[in-house]
A = this chain, B = another copy of it.
Amino acid sequence: MALDERKKLILKAVVDDYISTAEPVGSKALALRSDFNISSATIRNEMAELENDGYLIHPHTSAGRIPTDKGYRVYVDNLMQIPEPDEQYTLKVKEFFAEGLDEITDVLENASKALSESTGYTSLTLTPRLRKNQLKQIKMLMIEPGKVLMVVVLEEGVVKDRLVRVSDLIDESQLLRIADAVERGLSGIPIEEITFIAVAAAGKKVEIPESLLKQILYEAYVSIKQADSLGVYMDGANKMLGYPEFYEVDKAKSFMDTLSERGMVAGYLDEVNSDLESDDNAEVTRKPYMIRIGQEISITGLKDCSFVTTLYSTGGKIAGSIGVIGPRRMDYAKVVSSIGFVRSHINEELRKLCSDGCDKYIGESLK
């Protein structure tokens, strides 16, 4: 089962070739490569063994070989060389981070564009999961009678707001008292732990009519919970139509149909990466990205694709997922390099944006 050096070399060559041409790779073509000093016949023998062991297949007798999922797996885990970020795409990426970005959502939207531009595949970025973040403030701003802007402030300076309608009998000073009470009662608690009961308890003492109070507290509760909702940015889906694997409309359509269920794809990404997050052993540190190939993906309709995903993080509690979706035959090495580069930019931008909890990290090298 263990591959000897030559087999590895051949497997790597096959994958590299197939990635760049999308054509099955034959023994002769490999033999002609300047860095191979063995004859095509030998390569044929080796390939036959690689096929036996499940790393390659050939679509029909008279065709070359293409990698299987297992073949790709060995390739991404052991064989590929991840290039240093090259100028061609670092420039592109930097463009997207050039202007001052004031909000996390802007950072992620741009990151998504940068990722898809620099890789040529489809990118996905998710806003951070904030459930573990503590509530710091809650403000209720009266816009006009009956209309209130609920502003929820979490640790590390994350702000979310939401316009709600309430009874127009409530006046500004009452609102202020409610907001104060809720804030006093709940600040410091991670939002995932905040329940409606807790909110109600916090606001209980405020002396305004029960029904009005309850309405506001409920809206406050919803606003707090909603601060954790997952935002999704996707870019470059159209780019996939340029790859031969999607030349048949049926394939293209089923891919596009699946992507249009953004929520589902985002959910999958979030789930895959929560493994990455919890798993903080050395292995992960060395290779802080995750690759899912073909059948490994549990979403029907993306079985002919691969994911490369990673986490960005401020170093504090803010962390979220980004990923690239490409054909199974994607240029993994380049994507890994590119996603790492984009990730470090996101981290840097977010550190600039987070003022309190993160300040202590600013001095550190961004790696």
Contact = CB atoms under 8 A, between A and B. Distances in A.
B147 A149 contact: no
Nearest to A250: B241
Interface of A: 102-103, 137, 139, 141, 143-147, 149, 151, 153, 157, 159, 161-165, 235-238, 241-242, 246-247, 249, 252-253, 256-257, 259-260, 355-356
Given A238-B253, A355-B144, A149 B164 contact: no
Nearest to A260: B238
6 contacts: A103-B163, A145-B355, A147-B355, A161-B161, A249-B252, A252-B252
A157 B151 CA distance: 17
Contact of A143 (B103, B159, B249): B159
A171 to B, nearest CB: 16
Given A102-B162, A165-B102, A256-B237, A157 B147 contact: yes
Contacts of A145: 355
Contacts of A242: 253
Nearest to A136: B144
A150 to B, nearest CB: 10
A151 B149 contact: yes
A350 to B, nearest CB: 13
A249 B163 CA distance: 44
B241 A144 contact: no
Nearest to A246: B249
A235 to B, nearest CB: 8
A144 B249 contact: no
A144 B356 contact: yes
Contact of A102 (B157, B164, B356): B164
A259 B102 CA distance: 27
Contacts of A165: 102
A99 to B, nearest CB: 13
A316 to B, nearest CB: 15
Nearest to A256: B238
A146 B159 CA distance: 14
Contacts of A144: 153, 157, 355-356
